[in-house]
Structure 1
Amino acid sequence: MNGEAAPRRAADLSTRTKLERGRGALGPALELVHTGRAPTRAVLTAELGVTRATAGAVAAELEALGLIRVDSRPGVAGGSQGRPSHRLAVDENGPVALAAQVHPDGFRAALVGLGGRIVDTTPGCVTVSADPAQVLGEVVDAGAALLAKSGRRCVGAGLAVPSAVAEPDGTALNPLHLAWPAGAPVREIFTERVRAAGIDGPAFTGNDVNLAALAEHRHGAGRSAQHLLCVATGHRGVGGALVLDGRLHSGSSGLALEVGHLTVNPDGRACHCGGRGCLDVEADPLAFLQAAGRTPGPEVSLLDQARDLLRAEAADPAVRHATEELVDRLGLGLAGLVNILNPDRIILGGLHRELLNAAPERLRAVVADRSLWGRSGGVPILPCTLDHNSLVGAAELAWQPVLDDPLLLGQGAAVAGH
């Protein structure tokens, strides 16, 4: 008996070891599919460094959890050789995260699945109350209505706000372009509203540009970058973010990369921070409209007015002058950031994306001329590619616990929305 028991124990141990190894690979495997880096089981096997059998078991378990789909009848592309590999994709009918965004011209809620795919979104609200509790209650209620309509399982909720979010308290330190009080406890309020709406799962809050950068790094223009700098102007002001080796760099207390308060015009406009000539007031939509000699109207957002003007009247001398003026200011700020941070890629969002498209060579020349590293070959400067990237980034916060441990779904940590 002893001679038979020893091999059996060894076989049992080997099976358990393989199972544990496979379960330990669930999170990395899901992230690879989520970010599009493992389109087939063969690629998944290579990326994880496991056997084909282990990769197959991992893919099967993720499929059983309702997170991915495995093509049961793989085909071979024309001209390829070897055994065909099963294609992998996120399950389009799988769980979702509730994402919410607040900005000076309104708010919006959305449901976002794996892969950064927006499943459904509410029409954008165009007014924002001075009471953060009222606004966050309204955006969560709008999101809860989307969940009820979808019948989808919800893994959690994420919120993007136009303010630095201080850690660990989750307070909006400087919502300069909202009428909210400084230090508003947005994470606490958001969590309470999510619970009150009957939405289970964790709730998270972050700065809107940080979350845009996270989304672009995983699903958009920032893919494969190791040191990604994102600078964007949305409805008002200018924000920045840095992603290092796949992780947001938020500093010691969540306040890093407040690039809007770099001085780019010492004799320029007074800034809300107490300084003068900051990027925040020298290179945002209001600054563009004023430089073009246009009086902003109340009917649509400043961002939409600036975009429409740039697209429809780019040849107008005043608009062309405003474009060059803002490109020069933006380039000066970017050059300083390049000198300090040495990124391997810069992505621009909001109106800055439009300015890049309007005068790409001028912007790149300003950055190259003013930065040490730009002169040695240049840093790629690209437009952001995702629509609603701050919403997608807010959803990434809610998805992260599942990406870390997909078995949470089987343990009831993320439950159905209603």
Structure 2
Amino acid sequence: MNGKATTTRTRLDRGRSALGPALELVHTGRAPTRAVLTSELGVTRATAGAVAAELEALGLIQVDSRPAAAGSQGRPSHRLAVNDSGPVALAAQVHADGFRAALVGLGGEIVATDPGCVTVSADPAQVLGAVVDAGAALLKGSGRRCVGAGLAVPSAVAEPEGTALNPLHLAWPAGSPVREIFAERVRAAGITGPAFTGNDVNLAALAEHRHGAGRGAKDLLCVATGHRGVGGALVLDGRLHSGSSGLALEVGHLTVNPDGRPCYCGSRGCLDVEADPLAFLTAAGRDPGPEVSLLEQSRALLRHEYADAPVRRAAEELVDRLGLGLAGLVNILNPDRIILGGLHKALLEADPDRLRAVVADRSLWGRSGGVPILACSLDHNSLVGAAELAWQPVLDDPLGALSHQV
């Protein structure tokens, strides 16, 4: 091979190796222009242009070469954005009060969603079959290409087996092979691409780190309570910290009230039963109704009746318990940002000063400067996170992942 051919091959190889990092930069909003992409990748303008053109040819991004607005200085740089009519991932979420399916494009954009049902059977195969059927209907209606599927469940998911170790709030058998069942249902529905499963709060944290309130954090702690129970997740240097077998950050079983309610884990006074929607409704003296989920009932109570003394006292009680748990986590993990989801987000918004004061008073690092505590900012962040699992092979190798599905 002559020198010119070798140089061309080297450039092609270098360009292909940059496709994944370039797509991730556009996907997470960190490269809005070709000039920024060039700088972030550390390549020449020609290479960055070739990479952007290849991603556009794959149908993943859009390159806008229209001139910059009048009055701008210097040579305008091409604008980059995800292709809003490109491929999608099928995302599914199961929780105590129902399930939901969605189609999610690059950039974490929810393209379509189906709210599913409001009751969840004790048979995981039946539930996962129904949620995949709902997703398949969305795909058929959209006419979009699917890169894969991701599932979020309210349970620790043991690795490498993909089993739901403790689906306490679903009445599913412990150790249910949810990843295997989900993958079988995805294949049976004729949906292309690999299938993945993860814990719902882990996936919410991943989505928030890439697209929401956690963007830019180095060590991000996420704590959330959805429909039942409390979960936590940690993102370190852009990657989920799931421990040696996927079971890290089971923060719901931190004891915050030693004389409190019995927990499903066998202990007493865990965050899981002391700081979730049921605990809040009980503390406020309200009997949960069947009309809407416990989470929606709790949010409505905070939104419309926070001025009532029993509701305010219940909120303060939960804020203090949550703050105690967060302080312990800050002492152990030393995160540079905390984000809160579900009912915890609503509690933070109702009384941010009280929660931050409890954390600062009870944590070593809080006293020395404080840790930013923010509300999660994405709607359906667990769904978006489930889609991130399906998008990851494409982010790693766009050309390889998409060519394998042709």
TM-score range, shorter chain: over 0.9
Percent identical residues = 86
Aligned residue type for 1:136:
L
Aligned residue type for 1:91:
N
Unaligned residue ranges in structure 2 (runs of 5+): none
Counterpart residue number, 2:174 = 182
User: Shift of residue 14 of structure 1?
Assistant: 1.4
Aligned residue type for 1:13:
T
Distance 1:77 1:378, change over 3 A: farther
Moved over 3 A (4+): none
Q: Give the whole-Å Cα distance in 2 for the aligned partners of 1:346 and 1:404.
A: 28
1:148 aligns with 2:143: no
1:207 aligns with 2:212: no
User: Shift of residue 121 of structure 1?
Assistant: 0.3
Q: Give the whole-Å Cα distance in 1 for the aligned partners of 2:290 and 2:31.
A: 47
Is the CA contact 1:98–1:156 (under 8 Å) kept in the aligned structure 2?
yes
The number of residue pairs the alignment matches comes to: 406
Counterpart residue number, 1:51 = 44
Aligned residue type for 1:320:
R
1:31 aligns with 2:24: yes
Aligned residue type for 1:210:
N
Find the partner of 1:196 among 188, 198, 201. 188
Counterpart residue number, 1:228 = 220
Report the secondary structure of 1:108's partner residue: strand
Distance 1:21 1:77, change over 3 A: farther
User: Shift of residue 298 of structure 1?
Assistant: 1.3
Counterpart residue number, 1:269 = 261
| Alpha-carbon displacement from aligned partner over 1:272-327 (angstroms, at most 9, x marks no partner) | 00000000000000000011111111111100100000100010000110110000
Report the secondary structure of 2:232's partner residue: strand
Q: Give the whole-Å Cα distance in 1 for the aligned partners of 2:198 and 2:135.
A: 18
Aligned residue type for 1:63:
E
Counterpart residue number, 1:75 = 68
Report the secondary structure of 1:37's partner residue: coil
Report the secondary structure of 2:2's partner residue: helix
Counterpart residue number, 2:92 = 100
After TM superposition, the structure 1 stretch with the greater mean CA deviation from structure 2, 120-129 or 238-247, is 120-129
Counterpart residue number, 2:4 = 11
Q: Give the whole-Å Cα distance in 1 for the aligned partners of 2:116 and 2:352.
A: 30
Q: Give the whole-Å Cα distance in 2 for the aligned partners of 1:373 and 1:58.
A: 44
1:239 aligns with 2:239: no
Is the CA contact 1:156–1:414 (under 8 Å) kept in the aligned structure 2?
no
Distance 1:270 1:77, change over 3 A: farther
User: Shift of residue 124 of structure 1?
Assistant: 3.5
1:334 aligns with 2:326: yes
Aligned residue type for 2:28:
T
Report the secondary structure of 2:147's partner residue: strand
Is the CA contact 1:233–1:284 (under 8 Å) kept in the aligned structure 2?
yes
The structure with the largest alpha-carbon Rg is: 1
User: Shift of residue 346 of structure 1?
Assistant: 0.2
Find the partner of 2:151 among 149, 156, 159. 159
User: Shift of residue 350 of structure 1?
Assistant: 0.2
Counterpart residue number, 1:5 = none
| Alpha-carbon displacement from aligned partner over 1:35-78 (angstroms, at most 9, x marks no partner) | 00000000000000000000000000000000000002131464
Counterpart residue number, 1:296 = 288
Matches within 5 A, 1:124-139: 124-139=116-131
Distance 1:124 1:308, change over 3 A: farther
Q: Give the whole-Å Cα distance in 1 for the aligned partners of 2:67 and 2:112.
A: 30
Q: Give the whole-Å Cα distance in 1 for the aligned partners of 2:227 and 2:64.
A: 43
Q: TM-score, normalised by structure 2?
A: 0.99
Report the secondary structure of 1:83's partner residue: coil
1:414 aligns with 2:380: no
Q: Give the whole-Å Cα distance in 1 for the aligned partners of 2:240 and 2:64.
A: 34
Aligned residue type for 2:152:
A
Q: TM-score, normalised by structure 1?
A: 0.96
| Alpha-carbon displacement from aligned partner over 1:82-119 (angstroms, at most 9, x marks no partner) | 11000000000000000000000000000000000000
User: Shift of residue 414 of structure 1?
Assistant: 3.2
| Alpha-carbon displacement from aligned partner over 1:245-294 (angstroms, at most 9, x marks no partner) | 00000000000000000000000000000000000000000000011111
Is the CA contact 2:98–2:118 (under 8 Å) kept in the aligned structure 1?
yes
Unaligned residue ranges in structure 1 (runs of 5+): 1-7
Report the secondary structure of 1:25's partner residue: helix
